[in-house]
Structure 1
Amino acid sequence: MGKILFYISTFLFFGFTIFSEDTRLLEREVTVKAENERLDDFLNRLSQEIGGVFSYSPSAIDISQRITGEFNDKSCREILEEVFQGKIRYKQKGNYIILSPAPPSDKEITVSGYLVDENSGERIRNATVYDPITLKSSTTDEFGFFEIAVKNPTKENLELIINQERYTDTLLIDQKQSSFKRFFLKRETAETLTKPMKDFLQWAKESIGVKNSKNVKDTLARKFQFSIVPFVGTNQKLSGSVVNDYSINLFGGYSAGTNKLELGGLFNLDRGQVSGAQLAGLVNQVGGSVKGVQLAGLANVNLDSLSGFQGAGLTNFTLRGIRGVQASPLLNVSGGNMDGFQASALINYTHKNAKGVQAGILGNISGGYVEGFQFGLFNYADSVNGASIGLLSFVRKGYHTLEIGADEIYPINIGLRTGTRGFYNILSAGIRPEKADSITWSFGYGIGTSPRLGKKTYLNFELNTSQMNKGNVLTTNLINRAYLGLDYQLAKGVAIYGGPSFNIRIFDSSYNDHPETFGYFTPRVFGRKTFESTNLGQEIWWGFRAGIRFF
């Protein structure tokens, strides 16, 4: 039984200790009265009221001074300020409040207090209080308390700016001595709906520096700044509200913008506009527009527009339009219009209109019209005034036809054309029904152009290659064709076509079971050759094509 009581008492003791340490003794509100009472006696009574212990040296504090006053529903901090008139500093450590003399007022003063809503009486948390000259700043805590130390005070009044999402004010402080008071602020009548930050700083949204950036609406300016990491530098915790001409970031920095040059060992983060040049070892992110050159080892991310050059080791992203050049090996993205040049080893994407050139080895995408050229294996656009050149291009408002026709080899040919009349891709297939066990068939790919000759007449010039097979695909048997013909529109969505073709067959001469090239019509074949070094054979002839097209 004794052991159980011991464990319970130990648990309660440590629990009380932890609770006491977690509780802000200085913020406990109490009601006490004193009439000509010695300071040490008054502090003993006050310590009992707040549940803590005052620690001080009797030689440093005049404990014999007399205290007279009535303190109703005031925090311990406010009571100490009224008693000592700013001549004593205090801080909580565990369950103790340590009192020590303040520095002489000619060397340093402290401005502190509570920010309180004028109407509701509620304390205002997460407000930024700063000196616009020295950029010294403080952010109010959960009790609305702030504190700023001013070294070497002058005779002039100190101006402090207060900013919070719903409050803005200016304080004029007498610098002759330290001061503490409650500052009552009036909420702005025209409240604005604040949007969440559009960038990847969500990890730091509760930090003091980012709160300052949200609170401080004024734009501060500096010629030069140096930082090690965000908020650790010459602009201190107000760096997110300062626009710099020159900015050097050892590892990374965070600012309101840059006018001329910004260098970052790893990253640069700018809330606003960047002009000139911005270079980072890994990432640049800009919340405003970029005018100039932006280079990054991995990625550039702009949440507005770009006018200039953007180059990255992996990807470039601009939320709005670009006027200039984007170059990267992986991906270029323009969320608006593109006027210039996009070059990527993989994909270029423009959400709206593209004017200029998109060159991506894998592909290019434009959500609007393209005025210029697309070069890539796969291309997509809404409409094109120019050409989309690649393995397969699809233009939503472009040239799309399905044809059924015949030539000297196959009585049935089916072809799909997609792209623009300036340049289109052709997917084709042919079949020759036979009585044999295996049918003769082919599949092929080609490119073509179709300029207008008259109101209903178009010229077709096409290059096509197809693999001719009997049953399975077993060996090389290519029919390479150049076609020049006419396309006449009978009605909307219906046309007939026809014209001559020049054909070269390249086949495996060591294989003896090729299908017969011609089944129902045999043209004159010339230019038969065999290349023994490569086991390839050649045949040349003139042929024809004709049929009907839809769409």
Structure 2
Amino acid sequence: MKMLANKQILKYFLTIFIFSTSIFLSFSQSNLLEKRISISAKNQKLETVLQLISQKTNFQLSYNSDIIPYDSLITISYQNKSAAKILNQLLGKKYYFVTSGKHLIILRIETPKKESKKQDISFEKTIEKIQINGCISDYRSKKAVENVSIVNLFSRNSTLSDSSGNYTMEIDVQNEFIGLSFSKENYIDTVILFKPDTSKIFDIQLLSKPEMIQKLPLKEINLFPQNNIEEYKLVKTIVRNDMISHSMNVKIFERSIGQFSFLPNFGTNRKLNGAYINHFSVNFFAGYSNGVEGMELGGVLNITKTKVSGFQACIGGNINGGAMRGVQLSGIINHNFASSKGFQATFGSNFCLDSVSGVQISGLFNVVKKEFKGFQFSGVNYAKINRGFQLGIVNLSDSSSGVSIGFLNIVKKGYYRFKLYADEMFFTNFSFCMGTNKLYNIFEISANPKTWAISYGFGSHFFHHRRISFAVDVTASQVNHNKLWESDTSFRGRISSEINVRINKQISIFGGANYTLFVSDTNNSELQNYITETAIFNVQNYAFSYATMFQFTKGFTLGVRYDL
């Protein structure tokens, strides 16, 4: 019974999968035809007008001269109209269009001889299947070209040429004409159109694109180098090599209303997943697409070559080769190779190899390779240029005009200062400050012959006027009197205000007042007496619950500061 139930469930999912394939492929459309142009012609041949449209839209037109009256004279005038509307009005309703990259193929709708109110695009088939094969070589060198993508422009079935340049493709005959595109990275695309009357051999010579002289950039050592998404190890592991080859070769970039995938190679968009921009995408295990404009949901991994605009969520991770605009959620990782704008959240880490504007929340790391504007919250935050607000245990940046709050704030081009000073309790206080003028961390150690303390705190340096500036520091200390370490309560909290007078570029003298609160156990009379003896002003004592003593006093600071 269980086996029968499992078979029924599998049959159910396969039915949905096949049904989804037919629906979503039928809704695919190319953005070539959406381009708006202005064109006018008077008493020009149709062939000339089509060439003019081709130039204006920057795509190549392909058609069979037997089905188009290319010698007929045309007069047209259109302003800011889509290419699809112009072609439909120019040619009429008897034609339809198929796109491949920058190629647009014009085909005629075949109607049956018998009159019918409904238009029928079918034709009388004489054979069901044909086989196409041949060899692909370089036009100049005549050497074989491997990993060339051969795509059936109607069914989107595809194959690759082997190491000898040979290819074979079996085609189901569904149309009066068949269009094949031959695409290879760094080569000019070639499209052929033929009647499927018999199996054929097509030997194709591809013309390489003109070589461009590239300027070699200065070598830069980066903690997070930017790579092509196809070179990312995790992508190579999940996505098959033939799909990566197709995605690098084929530049169709069609939009699909949606797609379903179990794996990158098992989905409604088949091997050409890397050529589709989806409005709605569901990846049960892992998926691979050119882009998302809408919503994408995933189980383990969502992989997108270019931009994501809308909502993207995955239990595992999201890896995007382009910009992210919207909301991105994951359980483990969000990794964007281009800029991000919006909201990112994960239990693991957020990585962006470009700039980020918005909110990043993670459990481990937030990493932004370039400029950051917005709010970062994580265990460790890094932004090369911080213009926002960082909240974490450790905050890192190369330069910062924003605010960072954390136990450790490190700014490469930031605030680094040493201070040596005396106050009413300790003759020797040595502190190290790091961060920015807006907010810096303070690490301090203080000592007297019988007493020592270790302190941590925050400070802000402001009101800069020529040689004079003002600072406020807040510190918390563990005070140890006549002991290596005081096990009982022995806390000092202090707020100090300082006026700094600059002597030269690196050295300043400073002084100011402070307000101090001591908290200790009521039975620690030795420490309480020491505080009273060293205080310059009167000490106010308050016992709380007969167990804790609070002591308030005022004091001073006077010292020298050295800026790195």
Q: Common fold, TM-score beyond 0.5? A: yes
Conservation of the 8 A alpha-carbon contact between 1:461 and 1:484: yes
Partner of 1:442: 453
Aligned to 2:549: 537
Aligned position for 2:399: 368
Give the SS at the match of 1:336: strand
Q: 1:308-329 deviations in whole A, cap 9, x for unaligned?
A: 2222231111111112222222
Paired with 2:457 and 2:139, the residues of 1 have a C-alpha distance of 77
2:540 to 508, 527, 530: 527
Matched letter for residue 354 of structure 1:
N
For residues 144 and 555 of structure 2, the distance between their equivalents in structure 1, rounded to whole angstroms, comes to 91
Distance 2:526 2:539 in 1: 21
User: Following the alignment from structure 1 to structure 2, what is the Cα–Cα distance between the partners of residues 252 and 473?
Assistant: 56
Query: Partner of 1:503 in structure 2?
Result: 516
- Offset from partner CA, 1:208-232 (integer Å, 9 cap, x none): 2222112213323333322221122
Q: 2-side partners of 1:517 and 1:456: how far apart? A: 38
Aligned residue for 1:63? Answer: none
- Alpha-carbon distance in structure 2 between the residues aligned to 1:400 and 1:118: 66
Does residue 354 of structure 2 align to residue 320 of structure 1? yes
The 8 Å contact of residues 229 and 252 in structure 1, kept in 2 or not, is answered as yes
CA distance in 1, matches of 2:240, 2:292: 24
Residues 480 and 290 of structure 1: CA distance in aligned 2, closer, same or farther (over 3 Å):
closer
Quick one: structure 1 residues 237 and 343, their matched pair in 2 at CA, closer, same or farther if it must change by over 3 Å? same
**Residues 424 and 155 (structure 1 numbering): CA distance in 2 closer, same or farther, change over 3 Å?**
closer
SS at match of 1:403: strand
CA shift, 1:258, in A, is: 1.8
Q: Structure 1 residues 196, 275: CA separation in 2 closer, same or farther (over 3 Å shift)? A: closer
Letter in 2 for 1:413: N
Instruction: Please tell me the residue identity of whatever aligns with 1:445.
Output: Y
Instruction: Look up the match of 1:416.
Output: 432
Q: Classify 1:119/1:399 alpha carbon distance in 2 versus 1 (closer, same or farther; 3 Å).
A: closer
Q: Deviations over 1:170-198 (max 9, x none)?
A: 2233311222x250304415257997834
**Corresponding position of 1:46:** none
- Per-residue deviation, residues 326-385 of structure 1 (Å, max 9, x unmatched): 2222211112211222222x112112x22222222x1222222233x2222222234xxx
What residue in structure 2 maps to residue 226 of structure 1? 260
Corresponding residue SS for 2:401: strand
Partner of 1:310: 344
In structure 1, what is the Cα distance between the partners aligned to 2:146 and 2:461?
A: 70
2:165 is matched with 144
- In the alignment, structure 2 segments of 5+ residues that lack a partner are 1-124, 215-226
Please tell me the residue identity of whatever aligns with 1:414.
Answer: F
Q: Secondary structure at the match of 1:320?
A: coil
Question: Following the alignment from structure 2 to structure 1, what is the Cα–Cα distance between the partners of residues 245 and 185?
Answer: 9
Corresponding letter in the other structure for 2:302: N
Structure 2 counterpart of 1:183: 203
2:414 alignment partner, one of 390, 397, 401 = 397
Distance 1:240 1:112 in 2: 24
Q: Residue type of the partner of 1:358?
A: Q
- Give the drift of 1:237: 1.2
The answer for the alignment partner of 2:248 in structure 1 is: 214
Distance 1:217 1:469, change over 3 A: same
Q: Residues 188 and 486 (structure 1 numbering): CA distance in 2 closer, same or farther, change over 3 Å?
A: closer
Residues 293, 308 of structure 1: 8 Å contact kept: yes
Question: In the alignment, is the contact (CA less than 8 A) between 1:469 and 1:477 conserved in 2?
Answer: no
Contact 1:468 1:478 in 2 (8 A): no
**Cα gap change, 1:331 to 1:530, in 2 (>3 Å):** same
Single out whichever of 470-479 and 453-462 deviates more from structure 2.
453-462
Determine the structure 2 residue equivalent to 1:164.
184
In structure 1, the residue matched to 2:119 is none
Confirm or deny: 8 A CA contact 1:423 1:448 kept in the other structure. yes
Counterpart CA distance in 2 for 1:116 and 1:542 is 88
| Partner SS for 1:201 | helix
- The CA distance in 1 between the partners of 2:126 and 2:289, in whole Å, is 34
Secondary structure of the residue aligned to 2:251 is coil
1:546 aligned residue: 558
Shift of 1:520: 8.6
One of 453, 461, 470 as aligned partner of 2:482:
470
Relative contact order (alpha carbons < 8 A, sep ≥ 6): 1 or 2 greater?
A: 2
Q: 1:322 to 1:500 in 2, by over 3 A?
A: closer
Give the match's secondary structure for 2:557.
strand
Contact 1:228 1:253 (C-alpha < 8 Å) held by counterparts? yes
C-alpha contact 1:408 1:518 (8 A) present in aligned 2: no
Equivalent AA in structure 1 for residue 348 of structure 2:
L
Match of 1:488 among 488, 498, 501: 501
Equivalent residues of 1:105, 1:178 under 8 A apart: no
After TM superposition, the score normalised by the length of structure 1 is 0.69
Secondary structure of the residue aligned to 1:202 is helix
Alignment of 1:424-439 (within 5 A): 424-433=440-449, 439=450
* Structure 1 runs not aligned, ≥5 long: 1-103, 383-395, 434-438
Distance in 2, matches of 1:520 and 1:527, equals 13
Distance in 1 (CA, whole Å) between partners of 2:376 and 2:535 is 50
What CA RMSD, in Å, does the superposition of the two structures yield over aligned residues?
3.1
Secondary structure of the residue aligned to 2:485 is coil
Given the superposition, is the C-alpha separation of residues 530 and 118 from structure 1 closer, same or farther in structure 2, using an over 3 Å criterion?
A: closer
Is the 1:426–1:448 contact (alpha carbons within 8 Å) kept by the matching residues of 2?
yes
Tell me, yes or no, if structure 1 residue 456 matches structure 2 residue 488. no
1:54-73 aligned within 5 A:
none
**Shift, 1:252, TM fit:** 2.0
Deviation readout 1:427-474 (Å, 9 max, x if unpaired): 3333334xxxxx333333343344437543334443334314224113
Q: Which of 241, 246, 249 lines up with 2:280 in the alignment?
A: 246
Radius of gyration: which is bigger? 1
Instruction: From the superposition, tell whether residues 155 and 363 of structure 1 become closer, same or farther in structure 2 (CA, over 3 Å).
Output: same
Secondary structure of the residue that 1:323 maps to in structure 2? Answer: strand
Paired residue secondary structure (2:248) = helix
3-state SS of paired residue (2:230): coil
Q: 1-side partners of 2:534 and 2:284: how far apart? A: 78
CA gap 1:114/1:401 in 2 versus in 1, 3 angstroms: same
Cα separation, partners in 2 of 1:452 and 1:250, compared to 1, 3 Å:
closer
The separation in 2 between residues aligned to 1:189 and 1:524, in whole angstroms, is 84
Sequence identity percentage:
26
Structure 1 residue matching 2:387: 3-state secondary structure: strand
Alignment of 1:79-158 (within 5 A): 105-118=126-139, 120-156=141-177, 158=178
**Cα drift, residue 284 of structure 1:** 1.3
Question: What is the CA-CA distance between 1:517 and the residue it aligns to?
Answer: 1.8
Partner letter of residue 170 of structure 1? V
Q: Residues 113 and 357 from structure 1, CA distance in 2 versus in 1: closer, same or farther, beyond 3 angstroms?
A: same
Name the residue aligned to 2:104.
none
Aligned to 1:86: none
| One-letter identity of the residue aligned with 2:395 | N
Are residues 1:290 and 2:324 paired? yes
For residues 228 and 310 of structure 2, the distance between their equivalents in structure 1, rounded to whole angstroms, comes to 28
SS in 1 for 2:245: helix
Cα distance, 1:341–1:173 mapped onto 2, change above 3 Å: same
TM-superposed CA distance for 1:160, in Å, is 0.5
Q: Residues of 2 paired with 1:472 and 1:451: CA distance?
A: 37
Matched, 1:354 2:354: no
Q: Which amino acid in 1 is paired with 2:417?
A: H
Deviations 1:7-43 (A, max 9, x none): xxxxxxxxxxxxxxxxxxxxxxxxxxxxxxxxxxxxx
Name the CA shift for 1:116/1:517 in 2 (closer, same or farther; >3 Å): same
Distance 1:270 1:510, change over 3 A: same
Aligned residues: 422
Amino acid in structure 1 at the alignment position of 2:157: K
- Residues 507, 189 of structure 1: alpha-carbon distance in 2 compared, 3 angstrom cutoff: closer
Which of 407, 410, 418 pairs up with 1:380? 410
Partner residue, 1:276: 310
Distance 1:538 1:307 in 2: 50
Between the aligned partners of 1:272 and 1:308, the Cα distance in structure 2 is 16
For 2:256 and 2:248, locate their aligned partners in 1 and report how far apart those are by CA, in whole Å.
19
Pairwise CA distance, 1:282: 1.4
**490-499 or 321-330: bigger deviation:** 490-499
